[in-house]
Structure 1
Amino acid sequence: MNRKTEVALAIPMGVPHLGRVVHGIREYAKMRTQWRFLISPETHDLPPRSLVGWRGCGVIALSNSEEDEQVLSSLNCPVVNISGALERSSFPRVRNDYRAIGESGAAYLWERGFRRYGFYGVEGLWYSREIESGFRGYLEKKRVSIKRLQGASSIEGKALWEEGQEQLDAWLLSQKPPFAVMAAHDPRGAMVIRSCERVGLKVPMDVAVLGVNEDSGTCETCRPALSSIERNGFEVGFRAAETLDAMIRGESVAKETILPHGNICDRESTQTLALEHPALESAVRFVEKRYRKPITVEQMAEASGKSRRWLEQAFREHLDCSPSEFLERYRVGVVVKRLEDGIGLSVGMFANEAGFSGPRQLNAAFRRSFGKSLKEYMSC
């Protein structure tokens, strides 16, 4: 093989969100290069330290530590980093907007009526601090504070699995239900769910839990399944490959390429509303039972036993929307859930299934929620 076409992917292959990154890299390479990829035959994991003395065309790596930085710097080839573990990297980096991930997580949980929050992060990892900063910043604008807990990082293999379990249990028990926890990534979210089970807290009724990465293996083996924010891994991989290709050709590239995250995958761990007012809960339950039929705000107020004016104020205060906006949001959520379950229907049938008057109303609702029609949403 011509060594000038060999590219090393110093990325674990068995992790779902990193698999999407690798898919993006390979798609770019297939379209625009003659690259061949260096792989580890048994473990499918090629850590940077294994590349000492390697001579090839370039590297796309998770540079998670100072040791990784030193090894990769010793290679006589271009390197692109896709890790946010370190605040500063010696190499051009392609990453998500971590603060935006935190902000989106906070907004998602706020819409579910939660007013007490926690963040479970990881000591020493910069992306964890950035996600927490976005999460905290959004909630501080709402005049809400958050409780935080940090676990020891296992990146360098020094932390034992059991380390911090009792601390996590005690931290969760110190909160007043209902409250919501955002974790820095999905395995930490899974740890929160297991801890809730140990200490007798119900997910999501007592504690809603949201992770990051959309690692389906982790999320779907939790009980209940974990909701998560997707990192848009394909685009990260595609842009990382594009950056490396430009570097190999001797072109200048950006020091940092920051990309938006993907969708929030809604699962059982957050499928609840934190409603501490019985009348408001009655209105919401009315929507949940009757959403397929035409519903007016007056009917919602009648179900709550309160006036329309009271209901409007209650929805604004507790769910940050009007009653009609909540109804639309609920119906959109029904369609999204059907799509996630693999149910394929026409736009008209989806509209009927979710209680919209027709495709035009459904598409208008999707544009308000996602900036795109249902068909455009389905093609993403």
Structure 2
Amino acid sequence: MTRKKTQKPQRHEVGFHVALLVETSHEFGREVLRGIRDYEKTLGSHWAFYLQPDGMRQAAPRMGSWPCTGVIARPFTPAVTRLLAASGLPLVLLDPSARHQGHDLSHAQIPYITTDADAIVDMAFGHLQDCGCRGVAFVNTAEETVWSATRERAFTALAARCATPCHVYGTQAKDMTWERDIRALGAWLARLPRGLGVFAATDQRGRHVIEACRETGLRVPDDVVVLGVDNDPLLCELCAPSLSSIAIDAHRAGMEAARILHALMRGETVAPHTRILVQPTHISRRQSTASGFSHDRLVAEARRFMFTHYASSGLQITEIARHCGVSRRLLETRFAMAMRRTLLHELTEVRMERARALLRDSLETVTDIARACGFSDPNYFTKAFRQRHSLSPLKYRERARRGTP
């Protein structure tokens, strides 16, 4: 009797050993890692990864015990960057500060990926203008970061060019506790005029602004509208009201970082100080900028009610008018005069905007998304989505995940 041969377990040939010093507690870092993984999947060989230890502590692998062949890092301090540059390993930086790029590392000529501050600020300022803000403010990160300072400079410069009043809340002392920071931020916001649009440097900082407003008695979005950056779904939904945020194509940042590192590890020449700018992709509008400001309080109330109840498939224009205590004709007339679009157009856009966000950021089926956005008939939703965007919901999801929505 012949014996069956025991099939040996499949072994993956490891091409390179790559250290990833990328903080993963926020959406940006996680999306960067997904981009690196997706690039590695396009290759014929497998990469072995060393992932930064949990938390904000950065530590490179022991080179003697782990054969590192390249590093992708988002360094927190120039000291970490100098250590990595001195190793002589192929290195790509993510969002390095000016000091990381400065004369002390000029000999290293390190390629880097960074976010496009001007494009982020343009998108933020335009959104706050659409909300009808009579002034704007920028809230820095609690601790000093160069990319936050870069966004601040771009934001204040754009506000000056547009002759829009602009206020800035700077970084705080390193020993300031979270409670003291929230109180100080709330006191600062309370001194500013109402009808303000606040742009926070990150989603975490946006959450702090909303908390400070609550502690101070400011209503979001009635007195202040708030916008963050990174579009981290968990952080944005972990506050009340939920936080609107600018999404950044961090997935592409990871893909580009991996592509450049791959070239360096293969001994190819990369142009000195190669810089790739990562663009913002869209704004996920949530409750913190839902209604915006309007000189017509009736219109503002209609928009608030619409954004709060859009998921109800039974929501009709007559119900919105009934809530506002006026006739449908009067509400439609006032709304069209104030917003230059119809109530029905606004309701459909609110629902479609939420549908686009769910298609991009969730794994829910098209049927579930349709119902979550107030469409009782999934077939009608698909037809309406195709008419509005010239492609089906599934095609939109596919393109959005490739970074080409």
TM-score range, shorter chain: 0.7 to 0.9
Distance 1:223 1:283 in 2: 20
Query: Cα 1:359–1:73, aligned 2, differ >3 Å: closer, same or farther?
Result: closer
Residue-by-residue CA offset, 1:282-327 (whole Å, 9 max, x unaligned): 886898875699xxxxx99843767x9xx65x54xxxxxx335x86
Q: Mean Cα displacement is larger for which, 122-131 or 191-200?
A: 122-131
| Aligned residues: CA RMSD | 3.9
2:161 matches 1:144: no
2:263 matches 1:246: yes
Which residue is 1:303 aligned to?
Answer: 331
Describe the SS at the equivalent of 1:180: strand
Distance 2:91 2:157 in 1: 33
Which residue is 2:366 aligned to?
Answer: 344
2:281 matches 1:262: yes
Q: Does the 8 A contact of 1:101 with 1:134 survive in 2?
A: no
Q: 1:178-189 counterparts in 2 under 5 A? A: 178-189=195-206
Distance 2:305 2:38 in 1: 48
Deviation at 1:140, TM superposition (A): 3.9
Query: Cα 1:172–1:351, aligned 2, differ >3 Å: closer, same or farther?
Result: closer
1:24 is aligned, of 24, 35, 51, to 35
Distance 1:224 1:348 in 2: 23
Distance 2:369 2:232 in 1: 29
Identical positions, percent:
25
Which residue is 2:341 aligned to?
Answer: 323
Which residue is 2:149 aligned to?
Answer: 129
Q: Does the 8 A contact of 1:136 with 1:145 survive in 2?
A: no
1:115 is aligned, of 113, 117, 134, to 134
Distance 2:306 2:74 in 1: 46
Describe the SS at the equivalent of 2:46: coil
Q: Does the 8 A contact of 2:95 with 2:115 survive in 1?
A: no
Distance 1:24 1:167 in 2: 38
Distance 2:164 2:58 in 1: 41
Which residue is 1:217 aligned to?
Answer: 234
Query: Cα 1:351–1:162, aligned 2, differ >3 Å: closer, same or farther?
Result: closer
Distance 1:292 1:242 in 2: 55
Name which one, 1 or 2, has greater alpha-carbon Rg: 2
Distance 1:248 1:101 in 2: 32
Deviation at 1:251, TM superposition (A): 2.2
1:191 is aligned, of 188, 191, 208, to 208
Distance 2:255 2:385 in 1: 32
- Structure 2 segments unaligned to the other structure (5+ residues): 1-11, 308-314, 320-326, 401-405
Which residue is 2:296 aligned to?
Answer: 277
Q: Does the 8 A contact of 1:219 with 1:225 survive in 2?
A: yes
Describe the SS at the equivalent of 1:119: strand
Q: Does the 8 A contact of 2:291 with 2:303 survive in 1?
A: no
Deviation at 1:365, TM superposition (A): 4.0
Deviation at 1:257, TM superposition (A): 0.5
Distance 2:328 2:135 in 1: 26
Distance 2:202 2:306 in 1: 33
Q: Mean Cα displacement is larger for which, 11-20 or 82-91?
A: 82-91
Query: Cα 1:360–1:49, aligned 2, differ >3 Å: closer, same or farther?
Result: closer
Deviation at 1:133, TM superposition (A): 3.7
Q: TM-score, normalised by structure 2?
A: 0.74
Amino acid at match of 2:354: K
Deviation at 1:244, TM superposition (A): 0.5
Describe the SS at the equivalent of 2:262: helix
2:179 matches 1:167: no
Amino acid at match of 2:18: V
How many positions carry a matched residue from both structures?
A: 356
Which residue is 1:319 aligned to?
Answer: none
Q: Mean Cα displacement is larger for which, 99-108 or 259-268?
A: 259-268
Q: Does the 8 A contact of 1:100 with 1:131 survive in 2?
A: no
Describe the SS at the equivalent of 1:263: strand
2:17 matches 1:6: yes
Which residue is 2:403 aligned to?
Answer: none
Residue-by-residue CA offset, 1:4-63 (whole Å, 9 max, x unaligned): 7211000123323211110110111122243201135x6376615666877621100012
Q: TM-score, normalised by structure 1?
A: 0.78
Distance 1:68 1:7 in 2: 17
Describe the SS at the equivalent of 1:5: strand
2:75 is aligned, of 63, 69, 72, to 63
Describe the SS at the equivalent of 2:280: coil
2:111 matches 1:101: no
- Structure 1 segments unaligned to the other structure (5+ residues): 294-298, 316-321
Q: Does the 8 A contact of 2:351 with 2:374 survive in 1?
A: no
Q: Does the 8 A contact of 1:168 with 1:195 survive in 2?
A: yes
Amino acid at match of 1:143: A
2:92 matches 1:80: yes
Residue-by-residue CA offset, 1:70-112 (whole Å, 9 max, x unaligned): 1111212011111244465242111221221111111112112
Residue-by-residue CA offset, 1:236-260 (whole Å, 9 max, x unaligned): 1111100111111222335101121
Amino acid at match of 1:323: R
Q: Does the 8 A contact of 2:250 with 2:278 survive in 1?
A: no
Query: Cα 1:348–1:182, aligned 2, differ >3 Å: closer, same or farther?
Result: closer
Amino acid at match of 2:280: H
